[in-house]
Structure 1
Amino acid sequence: MYDMKALYQAASVEEAVALRLEHPAAQIIAGGSDVLVQMREGKRAGAELISIYGIDALRGVSMEPDGTLRIGSLTSFSHITRDPLIQKYINVLGEAVDQVGGPQIRNIGTIGGNTCNGVTSADSASTLHAWDAVIELTGKNGVRRLPIRDFYIKAGEVDIRAEDGEIQTAVLIPKESYEDCFGHYIKYAMRNAMDIATLGTSVNVRLSADKKTVERARVAFGVAGPVPLRAATAEAMAKGQIVSLELAERFAQAVTADINPRDSWRAAKDFRLHIAVESAKRAFIESVKLAGGEL
Protein backbone atom coordinates (compact mmCIF):
# COMPACT_ATOMS: atom_id res chain seq x y z
CA MET A 1 0.00 0.00 0.00
CA TYR A 2 1.04 3.60 -0.59
CA ASP A 3 0.84 5.98 2.36
CA MET A 4 -0.21 9.26 0.75
CA LYS A 5 -2.14 12.24 2.04
CA ALA A 6 -3.71 13.23 -1.28
CA LEU A 7 -3.41 12.73 -5.04
CA TYR A 8 -4.23 15.57 -7.41
CA GLN A 9 -4.43 14.97 -11.16
CA ALA A 10 -3.65 17.71 -13.67
CA ALA A 11 -5.12 17.62 -17.18
CA SER A 12 -3.05 20.53 -18.53
CA VAL A 13 0.15 22.43 -17.83
CA GLU A 14 -1.89 25.37 -16.56
CA GLU A 15 -3.74 23.13 -14.11
CA ALA A 16 -0.49 21.56 -12.94
CA VAL A 17 0.99 24.99 -12.24
CA ALA A 18 -2.14 26.01 -10.33
CA LEU A 19 -2.04 22.83 -8.23
CA ARG A 20 1.65 23.35 -7.56
CA LEU A 21 0.97 26.87 -6.29
CA GLU A 22 -1.88 25.62 -4.12
CA HIS A 23 0.16 22.69 -2.76
CA PRO A 24 3.84 23.77 -2.83
CA ALA A 25 4.96 20.83 -0.70
CA ALA A 26 3.41 18.26 -3.04
CA GLN A 27 5.57 15.89 -5.05
CA ILE A 28 5.21 15.90 -8.84
CA ILE A 29 4.70 12.38 -10.19
CA ALA A 30 4.86 11.28 -13.82
CA GLY A 31 5.47 7.60 -14.57
CA GLY A 32 6.07 6.94 -10.88
CA SER A 33 8.92 4.47 -11.41
CA ASP A 34 10.96 6.28 -8.75
CA VAL A 35 8.41 8.07 -6.55
CA LEU A 36 6.18 5.05 -5.96
CA VAL A 37 9.15 2.85 -5.08
CA GLN A 38 10.30 5.46 -2.57
CA MET A 39 6.80 5.59 -1.08
CA ARG A 40 6.69 1.82 -0.68
CA GLU A 41 9.99 2.09 1.18
CA GLY A 42 8.40 4.60 3.54
CA LYS A 43 10.60 7.52 2.42
CA ARG A 44 7.66 9.71 1.40
CA ALA A 45 5.05 8.59 3.91
CA GLY A 46 2.05 10.91 4.02
CA ALA A 47 3.07 12.76 0.85
CA GLU A 48 0.81 14.82 -1.35
CA LEU A 49 1.19 13.99 -5.03
CA ILE A 50 0.41 15.96 -8.17
CA SER A 51 0.15 13.64 -11.15
CA ILE A 52 1.00 15.19 -14.53
CA TYR A 53 0.90 11.86 -16.35
CA GLY A 54 -2.34 12.74 -18.11
CA ILE A 55 -0.93 15.82 -19.88
CA ASP A 56 -0.46 14.45 -23.40
CA ALA A 57 0.89 17.80 -24.62
CA LEU A 58 4.11 16.97 -22.76
CA ARG A 59 4.72 13.80 -24.78
CA GLY A 60 6.65 13.34 -27.99
CA VAL A 61 9.67 14.61 -29.90
CA SER A 62 9.44 17.46 -32.41
CA MET A 63 11.63 19.98 -34.20
CA GLU A 64 11.11 23.69 -33.63
CA PRO A 65 11.45 26.21 -36.51
CA ASP A 66 15.05 27.04 -35.56
CA GLY A 67 16.05 23.37 -35.64
CA THR A 68 15.93 22.80 -31.89
CA LEU A 69 14.90 19.27 -30.94
CA ARG A 70 12.12 19.39 -28.38
CA ILE A 71 11.56 16.36 -26.15
CA GLY A 72 8.43 16.63 -24.03
CA SER A 73 9.11 15.85 -20.39
CA LEU A 74 6.58 13.00 -20.33
CA THR A 75 8.19 11.23 -23.29
CA SER A 76 9.03 7.67 -22.23
CA PHE A 77 12.46 6.14 -22.68
CA SER A 78 11.03 3.61 -25.14
CA HIS A 79 9.51 6.39 -27.23
CA ILE A 80 12.80 8.30 -27.29
CA THR A 81 14.75 5.25 -28.44
CA ARG A 82 12.33 4.59 -31.32
CA ASP A 83 11.69 8.19 -32.38
CA PRO A 84 12.82 8.98 -35.97
CA LEU A 85 14.17 12.45 -35.07
CA ILE A 86 16.25 11.04 -32.22
CA GLN A 87 17.54 8.24 -34.44
CA LYS A 88 18.50 10.71 -37.17
CA TYR A 89 20.07 13.52 -35.17
CA ILE A 90 21.08 12.25 -31.72
CA ASN A 91 20.87 8.48 -31.75
CA VAL A 92 23.22 8.23 -28.77
CA LEU A 93 20.46 9.56 -26.49
CA GLY A 94 18.18 6.73 -27.58
CA GLU A 95 20.98 4.25 -26.94
CA ALA A 96 21.62 5.73 -23.49
CA VAL A 97 18.02 5.65 -22.24
CA ASP A 98 17.63 2.16 -23.69
CA GLN A 99 19.94 1.06 -20.87
CA VAL A 100 17.58 2.26 -18.13
CA GLY A 101 16.17 -0.63 -16.08
CA GLY A 102 14.12 -3.21 -17.97
CA PRO A 103 11.42 -2.91 -20.66
CA GLN A 104 8.66 -2.16 -18.15
CA ILE A 105 10.63 0.72 -16.64
CA ARG A 106 11.52 2.11 -20.07
CA ASN A 107 7.86 2.04 -21.09
CA ILE A 108 6.69 4.00 -18.05
CA GLY A 109 9.76 6.05 -17.09
CA THR A 110 10.08 9.56 -18.54
CA ILE A 111 12.94 11.84 -19.52
CA GLY A 112 11.53 14.51 -17.20
CA GLY A 113 11.47 12.21 -14.21
CA ASN A 114 15.00 10.99 -14.96
CA THR A 115 16.40 14.53 -14.95
CA CYS A 116 14.24 15.99 -12.17
CA ASN A 117 15.47 13.33 -9.73
CA GLY A 118 18.80 15.14 -9.76
CA VAL A 119 20.80 11.93 -9.40
CA THR A 120 24.22 11.73 -11.02
CA SER A 121 23.72 8.10 -12.10
CA ALA A 122 20.74 8.84 -14.39
CA ASP A 123 21.48 7.27 -17.78
CA SER A 124 20.16 10.28 -19.71
CA ALA A 125 22.09 12.85 -17.69
CA SER A 126 25.63 12.54 -19.05
CA THR A 127 24.46 12.47 -22.67
CA LEU A 128 22.21 15.50 -22.17
CA HIS A 129 25.15 17.35 -20.62
CA ALA A 130 27.43 16.35 -23.49
CA TRP A 131 24.89 17.69 -26.00
CA ASP A 132 24.34 21.03 -24.20
CA ALA A 133 20.70 20.32 -23.38
CA VAL A 134 18.45 23.11 -22.15
CA ILE A 135 15.73 22.48 -19.57
CA GLU A 136 12.37 24.20 -20.05
CA LEU A 137 10.35 25.03 -16.95
CA THR A 138 6.85 26.50 -16.92
CA GLY A 139 5.36 28.32 -13.95
CA LYS A 140 3.26 31.31 -12.95
CA ASN A 141 5.79 33.67 -14.54
CA GLY A 142 5.76 31.85 -17.88
CA VAL A 143 8.55 29.80 -19.44
CA ARG A 144 12.07 29.69 -18.03
CA ARG A 145 14.92 27.97 -19.86
CA LEU A 146 18.30 27.18 -18.41
CA PRO A 147 21.31 25.08 -19.47
CA ILE A 148 21.24 21.63 -17.94
CA ARG A 149 24.56 22.29 -16.18
CA ASP A 150 22.75 25.01 -14.18
CA PHE A 151 19.67 22.86 -13.60
CA TYR A 152 21.58 20.45 -11.36
CA ILE A 153 22.33 22.20 -8.05
CA LYS A 154 23.67 19.36 -5.91
CA ALA A 155 23.11 15.65 -5.46
CA GLY A 156 19.36 15.02 -5.59
CA GLU A 157 18.44 18.70 -6.02
CA VAL A 158 17.57 20.59 -9.19
CA ASP A 159 16.49 24.17 -9.89
CA ILE A 160 12.71 23.90 -9.98
CA ARG A 161 10.94 26.70 -8.13
CA ALA A 162 7.96 25.25 -6.33
CA GLU A 163 7.06 28.70 -5.04
CA ASP A 164 6.50 29.74 -8.68
CA GLY A 165 4.48 26.64 -9.43
CA GLU A 166 7.11 25.40 -11.88
CA ILE A 167 7.08 22.03 -13.58
CA GLN A 168 9.53 20.78 -16.17
CA THR A 169 7.85 20.79 -19.58
CA ALA A 170 10.61 19.90 -22.04
CA VAL A 171 14.23 19.04 -22.69
CA LEU A 172 15.68 20.97 -25.63
CA ILE A 173 18.71 20.17 -27.79
CA PRO A 174 19.82 23.22 -29.84
CA LYS A 175 20.71 22.65 -33.49
CA GLU A 176 24.26 23.88 -32.90
CA SER A 177 24.69 21.13 -30.31
CA TYR A 178 23.75 18.21 -32.57
CA GLU A 179 24.40 19.33 -36.16
CA ASP A 180 27.06 17.13 -37.80
CA CYS A 181 27.87 15.61 -34.41
CA PHE A 182 28.16 11.92 -33.61
CA GLY A 183 28.39 10.34 -30.19
CA HIS A 184 28.67 7.20 -28.12
CA TYR A 185 27.59 6.35 -24.56
CA ILE A 186 29.17 3.75 -22.30
CA LYS A 187 27.49 2.59 -19.11
CA TYR A 188 29.64 0.63 -16.72
CA ALA A 189 27.65 -1.39 -14.20
CA MET A 190 28.13 -4.60 -12.29
CA ARG A 191 25.33 -6.24 -14.29
CA ASN A 192 24.38 -5.93 -17.94
CA ALA A 193 20.77 -5.05 -17.13
CA MET A 194 18.58 -3.69 -14.32
CA ASP A 195 21.47 -1.97 -12.59
CA ILE A 196 22.46 1.58 -11.67
CA ALA A 197 25.54 2.92 -13.44
CA THR A 198 28.83 2.68 -11.60
CA LEU A 199 29.96 5.25 -14.15
CA GLY A 200 28.35 6.72 -17.26
CA THR A 201 30.43 8.28 -20.05
CA SER A 202 29.07 10.17 -23.07
CA VAL A 203 31.28 11.56 -25.84
CA ASN A 204 30.44 13.29 -29.10
CA VAL A 205 32.58 14.88 -31.81
CA ARG A 206 32.23 17.07 -34.86
CA LEU A 207 34.94 16.52 -37.47
CA SER A 208 36.19 18.77 -40.27
CA ALA A 209 34.90 18.24 -43.81
CA ASP A 210 37.86 16.00 -44.65
CA LYS A 211 37.29 13.99 -41.43
CA LYS A 212 40.88 14.52 -40.29
CA THR A 213 40.51 17.19 -37.62
CA VAL A 214 38.38 17.48 -34.47
CA GLU A 215 36.36 20.67 -34.76
CA ARG A 216 34.62 20.06 -31.45
CA ALA A 217 34.60 17.38 -28.78
CA ARG A 218 32.32 16.94 -25.79
CA VAL A 219 32.61 14.51 -22.90
CA ALA A 220 30.36 14.24 -19.85
CA PHE A 221 30.15 11.82 -16.96
CA GLY A 222 27.64 10.51 -14.51
CA VAL A 223 28.82 9.30 -11.07
CA ALA A 224 32.12 11.17 -11.50
CA GLY A 225 30.97 13.85 -9.07
CA PRO A 226 27.88 14.76 -7.02
CA VAL A 227 26.11 15.88 -10.21
CA PRO A 228 26.64 14.99 -13.88
CA LEU A 229 29.53 17.04 -15.26
CA ARG A 230 31.58 17.90 -18.33
CA ALA A 231 35.35 17.48 -18.62
CA ALA A 232 36.22 20.87 -20.08
CA THR A 233 39.99 20.31 -20.01
CA ALA A 234 39.75 17.31 -22.33
CA GLU A 235 37.32 19.11 -24.62
CA ALA A 236 39.61 22.13 -25.00
CA MET A 237 42.66 19.93 -25.57
CA ALA A 238 41.04 17.99 -28.43
CA LYS A 239 39.71 21.02 -30.33
CA GLY A 240 41.56 21.55 -33.61
CA GLN A 241 43.70 18.44 -33.21
CA ILE A 242 44.40 15.84 -35.88
CA VAL A 243 42.41 12.63 -35.38
CA SER A 244 44.63 9.81 -34.11
CA LEU A 245 44.80 7.08 -31.52
CA GLU A 246 47.39 9.17 -29.69
CA LEU A 247 44.84 12.00 -29.46
CA ALA A 248 42.26 9.56 -28.09
CA GLU A 249 44.72 8.58 -25.35
CA ARG A 250 45.55 12.19 -24.45
CA PHE A 251 41.86 13.14 -24.51
CA ALA A 252 41.04 10.29 -22.13
CA GLN A 253 43.85 11.09 -19.70
CA ALA A 254 42.81 14.75 -19.63
CA VAL A 255 39.36 13.98 -18.20
CA THR A 256 40.93 13.34 -14.78
CA ALA A 257 41.54 17.09 -14.41
CA ASP A 258 37.82 17.77 -14.05
CA ILE A 259 36.19 14.75 -12.43
CA ASN A 260 36.07 13.79 -8.78
CA PRO A 261 34.37 10.41 -8.25
CA ARG A 262 33.83 9.16 -4.71
CA ASP A 263 34.39 5.96 -2.87
CA SER A 264 31.20 3.98 -2.33
CA TRP A 265 30.10 0.40 -1.79
CA ARG A 266 29.61 0.14 -5.55
CA ALA A 267 33.15 1.11 -6.50
CA ALA A 268 36.30 2.74 -5.15
CA LYS A 269 37.31 6.21 -6.34
CA ASP A 270 40.49 4.89 -8.00
CA PHE A 271 38.50 2.29 -9.91
CA ARG A 272 36.03 4.91 -11.13
CA LEU A 273 38.94 7.07 -12.29
CA HIS A 274 40.38 4.10 -14.17
CA ILE A 275 37.14 3.29 -15.97
CA ALA A 276 36.53 6.99 -16.67
CA VAL A 277 39.78 7.18 -18.61
CA GLU A 278 39.22 3.90 -20.43
CA SER A 279 35.58 4.61 -21.30
CA ALA A 280 36.41 8.14 -22.48
CA LYS A 281 39.02 6.70 -24.82
CA ARG A 282 36.69 4.03 -26.19
CA ALA A 283 33.76 6.43 -26.57
CA PHE A 284 35.98 9.00 -28.32
CA ILE A 285 37.25 6.40 -30.79
CA GLU A 286 33.73 5.15 -31.50
CA SER A 287 32.42 8.71 -31.94
CA VAL A 288 35.17 9.51 -34.44
CA LYS A 289 34.35 6.36 -36.41
CA LEU A 290 30.64 7.23 -36.43
CA ALA A 291 31.57 10.69 -37.72
CA GLY A 292 33.45 9.13 -40.63
CA GLY A 293 36.97 9.51 -39.28
CA GLU A 294 39.76 6.94 -39.33
CA LEU A 295 42.15 6.11 -36.51
Structure 2
Amino acid sequence: MSANSCHNHLSTRMLPHPTAPHTEVNSKGDIVHSQVLRENVRKLEAYVEEMASGDTVSEISEEQKNHIKALYEDVVRSLRKDPDPRPSRVRSHRASSQFIRPQVSGISSLSADKVPLLHLKRKVGTAWEYSSNLTSVYLDILQEIATAGTTFKDKNTLLTGVGKGSIGAEVIKGLLAGGAHVVITTSQYNRATVKYYQSIFHSCGSRRSALTVVPFNQGSKQDVEALVDYIYANLGLDLDFILPFAGIPENGRETDGIDDKSELAHCIMLTNLLRIMGTVKNKKASRRFVTRPT
Protein backbone atom coordinates (compact mmCIF):
# COMPACT_ATOMS: atom_id res chain seq x y z
CA MET A 1 0.00 0.00 0.00
CA SER A 2 1.46 3.37 -1.02
CA ALA A 3 2.05 6.29 1.32
CA ASN A 4 -0.43 8.41 -0.64
CA SER A 5 -3.13 5.78 -0.19
CA CYS A 6 -2.53 5.71 3.57
CA HIS A 7 -2.63 9.49 3.72
CA ASN A 8 -5.95 9.61 1.85
CA HIS A 9 -7.59 7.31 4.40
CA LEU A 10 -6.35 9.07 7.54
CA SER A 11 -9.56 11.11 7.80
CA THR A 12 -11.85 8.13 7.08
CA ARG A 13 -14.16 7.19 9.94
CA MET A 14 -15.16 3.52 10.01
CA LEU A 15 -17.71 4.06 12.79
CA PRO A 16 -19.69 7.28 12.23
CA HIS A 17 -21.51 9.06 15.01
CA PRO A 18 -25.15 8.05 15.60
CA THR A 19 -27.52 10.15 13.52
CA ALA A 20 -31.18 11.11 13.73
CA PRO A 21 -33.76 11.77 11.00
CA HIS A 22 -34.43 15.43 10.24
CA THR A 23 -37.28 16.75 8.09
CA GLU A 24 -37.87 20.30 6.95
CA VAL A 25 -39.93 22.16 4.37
CA ASN A 26 -37.89 24.39 2.07
CA SER A 27 -38.92 27.67 0.45
CA LYS A 28 -40.46 25.80 -2.50
CA GLY A 29 -42.69 23.75 -0.23
CA ASP A 30 -40.74 20.54 -0.79
CA ILE A 31 -40.28 18.14 2.12
CA VAL A 32 -36.55 17.48 2.53
CA HIS A 33 -35.29 14.58 4.64
CA SER A 34 -31.76 14.25 5.93
CA GLN A 35 -29.72 12.59 8.67
CA VAL A 36 -28.13 14.86 11.26
CA LEU A 37 -25.78 14.16 14.16
CA ARG A 38 -27.51 13.50 17.47
CA GLU A 39 -26.79 16.06 20.16
CA ASN A 40 -24.64 14.78 23.04
CA VAL A 41 -24.59 11.28 21.52
CA ARG A 42 -21.06 10.49 20.37
CA LYS A 43 -20.99 6.70 20.74
CA LEU A 44 -23.42 3.85 20.23
CA GLU A 45 -23.56 3.24 24.00
CA ALA A 46 -25.00 6.72 24.51
CA TYR A 47 -27.52 6.11 21.73
CA VAL A 48 -28.78 2.94 23.43
CA GLU A 49 -29.09 4.77 26.75
CA GLU A 50 -31.06 7.56 25.07
CA MET A 51 -33.42 5.06 23.43
CA ALA A 52 -33.91 3.26 26.75
CA SER A 53 -34.62 6.46 28.68
CA GLY A 54 -38.14 6.48 27.32
CA ASP A 55 -40.70 9.04 26.34
CA THR A 56 -42.51 11.22 28.84
CA VAL A 57 -45.86 9.99 27.55
CA SER A 58 -47.06 6.63 28.77
CA GLU A 59 -47.88 3.95 26.18
CA ILE A 60 -51.36 3.50 27.71
CA SER A 61 -53.54 6.60 27.74
CA GLU A 62 -55.93 7.48 30.55
CA GLU A 63 -58.89 6.65 28.33
CA GLN A 64 -57.47 3.20 27.64
CA LYS A 65 -56.86 2.64 31.34
CA ASN A 66 -60.49 3.50 32.14
CA HIS A 67 -61.69 1.18 29.39
CA ILE A 68 -59.57 -1.69 30.73
CA LYS A 69 -60.81 -1.01 34.26
CA ALA A 70 -64.43 -1.10 33.08
CA LEU A 71 -63.88 -4.40 31.30
CA TYR A 72 -62.25 -5.85 34.39
CA GLU A 73 -65.18 -4.77 36.58
CA ASP A 74 -67.61 -6.40 34.13
CA VAL A 75 -65.68 -9.66 34.31
CA VAL A 76 -65.63 -9.62 38.12
CA ARG A 77 -69.35 -8.84 38.22
CA SER A 78 -70.19 -11.73 35.89
CA LEU A 79 -68.13 -14.15 37.96
CA ARG A 80 -69.99 -13.19 41.12
CA LYS A 81 -73.35 -13.89 39.49
CA ASP A 82 -72.40 -17.36 38.24
CA PRO A 83 -69.80 -18.94 40.49
CA ASP A 84 -68.01 -22.05 39.29
CA PRO A 85 -69.01 -25.05 41.47
CA ARG A 86 -65.94 -27.03 40.44
CA PRO A 87 -63.00 -26.97 42.88
CA SER A 88 -60.11 -24.83 41.83
CA ARG A 89 -56.82 -26.42 41.00
CA VAL A 90 -53.38 -25.19 40.20
CA ARG A 91 -52.69 -25.21 36.49
CA SER A 92 -49.23 -26.09 35.29
CA HIS A 93 -47.70 -24.92 32.05
CA ARG A 94 -45.13 -26.62 29.91
CA ALA A 95 -41.67 -25.19 30.39
CA SER A 96 -41.42 -24.53 26.65
CA SER A 97 -44.41 -22.20 26.77
CA GLN A 98 -42.88 -19.93 29.38
CA PHE A 99 -40.86 -16.87 28.50
CA ILE A 100 -37.40 -17.48 29.91
CA ARG A 101 -35.33 -14.36 30.03
CA PRO A 102 -31.57 -14.87 29.64
CA GLN A 103 -29.28 -13.75 32.41
CA VAL A 104 -27.64 -10.72 30.85
CA SER A 105 -26.39 -7.55 32.38
CA GLY A 106 -27.21 -4.15 30.98
CA ILE A 107 -30.26 -1.94 30.75
CA SER A 108 -32.64 -4.36 32.43
CA SER A 109 -34.55 -1.99 34.69
CA LEU A 110 -37.19 0.00 32.85
CA SER A 111 -39.23 2.85 34.23
CA ALA A 112 -42.82 1.88 34.97
CA ASP A 113 -44.27 5.22 33.87
CA LYS A 114 -42.28 5.52 30.64
CA VAL A 115 -41.97 3.50 27.47
CA PRO A 116 -38.52 3.29 25.80
CA LEU A 117 -38.27 4.99 22.44
CA LEU A 118 -37.17 1.63 21.03
CA HIS A 119 -39.54 -1.03 22.33
CA LEU A 120 -41.19 -4.31 21.37
CA LYS A 121 -44.82 -5.37 21.51
CA ARG A 122 -46.51 -8.73 21.92
CA LYS A 123 -49.75 -9.64 20.18
CA VAL A 124 -52.57 -10.17 22.68
CA GLY A 125 -55.81 -11.17 21.01
CA THR A 126 -56.24 -8.84 18.05
CA ALA A 127 -54.12 -6.01 19.48
CA TRP A 128 -50.42 -5.41 20.02
CA GLU A 129 -49.42 -4.50 23.58
CA TYR A 130 -46.13 -3.18 24.90
CA SER A 131 -43.99 -5.94 26.45
CA SER A 132 -41.56 -4.84 29.13
CA ASN A 133 -39.88 -8.28 29.20
CA LEU A 134 -39.14 -8.40 25.47
CA THR A 135 -38.09 -4.76 25.45
CA SER A 136 -35.71 -5.28 28.37
CA VAL A 137 -34.03 -8.24 26.65
CA TYR A 138 -33.82 -6.29 23.37
CA LEU A 139 -32.19 -3.29 25.01
CA ASP A 140 -29.77 -5.51 26.92
CA ILE A 141 -28.65 -7.08 23.64
CA LEU A 142 -28.19 -3.64 22.06
CA GLN A 143 -26.16 -2.58 25.08
CA GLU A 144 -23.95 -5.66 24.76
CA ILE A 145 -23.38 -5.00 21.05
CA ALA A 146 -22.62 -1.33 21.73
CA THR A 147 -20.02 -2.11 24.41
CA ALA A 148 -18.50 -5.46 23.38
CA GLY A 149 -19.27 -5.36 19.65
CA THR A 150 -20.36 -8.21 17.40
CA THR A 151 -18.74 -10.31 14.69
CA PHE A 152 -19.75 -11.98 11.44
CA LYS A 153 -16.51 -13.94 11.11
CA ASP A 154 -16.94 -17.09 8.97
CA LYS A 155 -20.53 -16.08 8.12
CA ASN A 156 -21.79 -16.17 4.53
CA THR A 157 -24.60 -13.87 3.45
CA LEU A 158 -26.67 -13.49 0.29
CA LEU A 159 -28.26 -10.10 -0.43
CA THR A 160 -30.53 -9.54 -3.42
CA GLY A 161 -31.72 -6.26 -4.90
CA VAL A 162 -29.24 -3.96 -3.18
CA GLY A 163 -29.28 -0.53 -4.79
CA LYS A 164 -27.08 2.51 -4.37
CA GLY A 165 -27.94 4.46 -1.22
CA SER A 166 -30.42 1.82 -0.03
CA ILE A 167 -30.81 0.18 3.38
CA GLY A 168 -29.21 -2.92 1.91
CA ALA A 169 -26.05 -0.96 1.10
CA GLU A 170 -25.74 0.05 4.76
CA VAL A 171 -26.28 -3.57 5.82
CA ILE A 172 -23.42 -4.60 3.53
CA LYS A 173 -21.09 -2.15 5.27
CA GLY A 174 -21.85 -3.67 8.67
CA LEU A 175 -21.44 -7.24 7.43
CA LEU A 176 -18.10 -6.49 5.77
CA ALA A 177 -16.86 -4.63 8.84
CA GLY A 178 -17.76 -7.71 10.88
CA GLY A 179 -15.76 -10.08 8.67
CA ALA A 180 -18.50 -11.75 6.60
CA HIS A 181 -18.35 -13.08 3.04
CA VAL A 182 -21.13 -11.20 1.25
CA VAL A 183 -22.64 -12.24 -2.07
CA ILE A 184 -24.59 -9.46 -3.82
CA THR A 185 -26.89 -9.89 -6.79
CA THR A 186 -27.64 -7.11 -9.25
CA SER A 187 -29.79 -6.86 -12.36
CA GLN A 188 -27.52 -4.09 -13.69
CA TYR A 189 -24.15 -5.79 -13.92
CA ASN A 190 -21.80 -3.22 -15.41
CA ARG A 191 -18.53 -1.46 -14.67
CA ALA A 192 -20.14 1.39 -12.72
CA THR A 193 -22.10 -0.99 -10.49
CA VAL A 194 -19.06 -3.14 -9.74
CA LYS A 195 -16.94 -0.07 -8.94
CA TYR A 196 -19.62 1.17 -6.52
CA TYR A 197 -19.58 -2.09 -4.56
CA GLN A 198 -15.80 -2.18 -4.77
CA SER A 199 -15.63 1.24 -3.10
CA ILE A 200 -17.80 -0.07 -0.25
CA PHE A 201 -15.45 -3.02 0.23
CA HIS A 202 -12.38 -0.78 0.23
CA SER A 203 -13.85 1.51 2.89
CA CYS A 204 -15.59 -1.06 5.12
CA GLY A 205 -13.95 -4.42 4.44
CA SER A 206 -12.14 -6.04 7.36
CA ARG A 207 -9.81 -8.98 7.81
CA ARG A 208 -11.07 -12.15 6.06
CA SER A 209 -14.16 -10.39 4.72
CA ALA A 210 -15.03 -10.83 1.05
CA LEU A 211 -17.49 -9.38 -1.44
CA THR A 212 -18.77 -11.15 -4.55
CA VAL A 213 -21.04 -9.42 -7.09
CA VAL A 214 -23.01 -11.57 -9.54
CA PRO A 215 -25.63 -10.76 -12.22
CA PHE A 216 -29.09 -12.04 -11.35
CA ASN A 217 -32.72 -11.78 -12.44
CA GLN A 218 -34.92 -12.75 -9.50
CA GLY A 219 -37.90 -13.12 -11.80
CA SER A 220 -36.23 -16.09 -13.50
CA LYS A 221 -36.42 -19.63 -12.12
CA GLN A 222 -33.33 -20.55 -14.13
CA ASP A 223 -31.35 -17.70 -12.53
CA VAL A 224 -32.47 -18.75 -9.04
CA GLU A 225 -31.17 -22.28 -9.51
CA ALA A 226 -27.97 -21.08 -11.21
CA LEU A 227 -27.27 -18.57 -8.42
CA VAL A 228 -27.52 -21.12 -5.61
CA ASP A 229 -25.47 -23.63 -7.64
CA TYR A 230 -22.76 -20.99 -8.13
CA ILE A 231 -22.63 -20.15 -4.41
CA TYR A 232 -22.35 -23.77 -3.27
CA ALA A 233 -20.39 -25.33 -6.14
CA ASN A 234 -18.13 -22.53 -7.44
CA LEU A 235 -17.63 -20.39 -4.34
CA GLY A 236 -17.80 -23.33 -1.94
CA LEU A 237 -19.93 -21.41 0.57
CA ASP A 238 -22.76 -22.48 2.85
CA LEU A 239 -25.22 -19.62 3.38
CA ASP A 240 -25.94 -18.46 6.91
CA PHE A 241 -28.17 -15.47 6.06
CA ILE A 242 -30.42 -14.51 3.15
CA LEU A 243 -31.48 -10.86 3.07
CA PRO A 244 -33.89 -10.15 0.19
CA PHE A 245 -34.28 -6.54 -0.95
CA ALA A 246 -35.34 -7.14 -4.56
CA GLY A 247 -38.80 -5.91 -5.49
CA ILE A 248 -40.84 -3.73 -7.82
CA PRO A 249 -43.67 -1.36 -6.77
CA GLU A 250 -47.34 -2.02 -7.41
CA ASN A 251 -48.73 1.34 -6.39
CA GLY A 252 -52.33 2.06 -7.38
CA ARG A 253 -53.29 -1.47 -8.34
CA GLU A 254 -56.50 -2.93 -6.92
CA THR A 255 -57.64 -6.56 -6.84
CA ASP A 256 -59.56 -6.08 -10.08
CA GLY A 257 -56.53 -4.63 -11.86
CA ILE A 258 -53.91 -7.35 -11.51
CA ASP A 259 -51.77 -7.37 -14.65
CA ASP A 260 -48.51 -8.83 -15.89
CA LYS A 261 -46.48 -6.40 -13.76
CA SER A 262 -48.33 -7.59 -10.66
CA GLU A 263 -47.55 -11.18 -11.54
CA LEU A 264 -43.87 -10.30 -12.00
CA ALA A 265 -43.81 -8.47 -8.66
CA HIS A 266 -45.30 -11.46 -6.83
CA CYS A 267 -42.87 -13.77 -8.60
CA ILE A 268 -39.88 -11.67 -7.51
CA MET A 269 -40.95 -10.86 -3.96
CA LEU A 270 -42.70 -14.11 -3.02
CA THR A 271 -42.55 -17.12 -5.35
CA ASN A 272 -38.89 -16.97 -6.31
CA LEU A 273 -37.85 -15.91 -2.81
CA LEU A 274 -39.39 -19.15 -1.54
CA ARG A 275 -37.70 -20.91 -4.45
CA ILE A 276 -34.32 -19.55 -3.34
CA MET A 277 -34.92 -20.82 0.19
CA GLY A 278 -36.02 -24.22 -1.11
CA THR A 279 -32.98 -24.55 -3.36
CA VAL A 280 -30.68 -23.64 -0.48
CA LYS A 281 -32.47 -26.21 1.67
CA ASN A 282 -31.78 -28.91 -0.92
CA LYS A 283 -28.10 -27.96 -1.05
CA LYS A 284 -27.80 -28.16 2.73
CA ALA A 285 -29.64 -31.49 2.88
CA SER A 286 -27.49 -33.06 0.15
CA ARG A 287 -24.36 -32.04 2.08
CA ARG A 288 -25.84 -33.17 5.41
CA PHE A 289 -25.72 -29.66 6.89
CA VAL A 290 -28.14 -29.94 9.81
CA THR A 291 -29.38 -26.50 10.87
CA ARG A 292 -32.39 -24.82 12.43
CA PRO A 293 -33.37 -22.09 9.95
CA THR A 294 -35.52 -19.15 11.06
| TM-score, reference length from structure 2 | 0.25
Structure number with the higher strand fraction is 1
- Which structure's CA Rg is the greater one? 2
Structure number with the higher helix fraction is 2
| TM-score, reference length from structure 1 | 0.25
